[in-house]
Amino acid sequence: MAPFTFPHQGSRGVLVYSGGMDSTTLLHECKDRIALCVSFNYGSKHNERELVYAQDNCRSLGMRHQTVALPFVNELFRSNLLMSGGAIPEGDYSKKNLKSTIVPFRNGIMLSIAAGLAESNGLSFIMMANHKSDHEGYPDCRPTFVEAMHLAIFEGSGRLVSLLAPYTNLDKREIALRARSLGVDLSRSWSCYKGGELHCGICSTCLERKRSLEGFDTTSYSS
């Protein structure tokens, strides 16, 4: 099991919740400690698809949920993940494929806003579901980033808010297994970067999702 070290007994926090399979698993795993889920609409091609699941899962669990719009990301940032960017590459995560889907410092932005929300609401931590399978391609998922960002949030909030990232050293398969043991219905989560009606099955994140769910009931995969 991933280590869960909450700041203090009974402390509650904010989950950065995309509606993808990793944060959906973390939501179910820590629902008793989460006082608020926050999702961000930053203009990615798949935001509208994943946000439906984020809202829906929060409603089912009776969780408070807030969507924050960040239109400036789509307007001013460069990434093929965004509506304003080029086509989503197909095939496995190769270095080149991946690079074009980086949204510069996205996790830093989302965590900073979540930290401000936590402090405003008297909550003592924020959580995100970054994981090991993303370390190579996405610098803002790596332990070095997470550790520094925790310290920045902790010090910058006057030592009121901590960052917890309990899946940092788990890979996506381990998260999927965790979801299964918790009874999480992963068909109610979204991964595909293309954001079409159904998961495309051929973009890098679809291939990764499929691999992580090998041997699972096939209804888990698509939605």
Positions that interact with a copy of itself (CB under 8 A):
66, 68-69, 72-73, 76-79, 103-109, 111-113, 115-121, 139-140, 142, 144-145, 148-149, 151-159, 161
Instruction: Name which of 24 and 130 has its Cβ closer to a copy of itself.
Output: 130
Count CB-CB contacts under 10 A for residue 23: 26
Instruction: Name which of 86 and 196 has its Cβ closer to a copy of itself.
Output: 86
Q: Are 24 and 46 in contact (CB under 8 A)?
A: no
CB of 157 to a copy of itself, least distance (A): 6
Q: Are 189 and 38 in contact (CB under 8 A)?
A: no
State how far Cα 183 lies from the chain centre: 19
CB of 11 to a copy of itself, least distance (A): 17
Instruction: Name which of 111 and 127 has its Cβ closer to a copy of itself.
Output: 111
Residues β-bridged to residue 14: 36, 126
Angle between helix 106-120 and 143-156 (nearest 10): 30
CB of 121 to a copy of itself, least distance (A): 8
Instruction: Name which of 121 and 222 has its Cβ closer to a copy of itself.
Output: 121
Instruction: Name which of 156 and 201 has its Cβ closer to a copy of itself.
Output: 156
Give the C-alpha distances (Å, rounded to integers) separating 132 from 1, 19, 186, 203.
15, 18, 19, 19
CA–CA dist 158, 45 (Å, integer): 36
Q: Are 47 and 195 in contact (CB under 8 A)?
A: yes
CA–CA dist 2, 89 (Å, integer): 32
CB of 140 to a copy of itself, least distance (A): 4
Instruction: Name which of 38 and 206 has its Cβ closer to a copy of itself.
Output: 38
CA–CA dist 157, 145 (Å, integer): 18
CB of 113 to a copy of itself, least distance (A): 6
CB of 88 to a copy of itself, least distance (A): 18
Q: Are 134 and 23 in contact (CB under 8 A)?
A: no
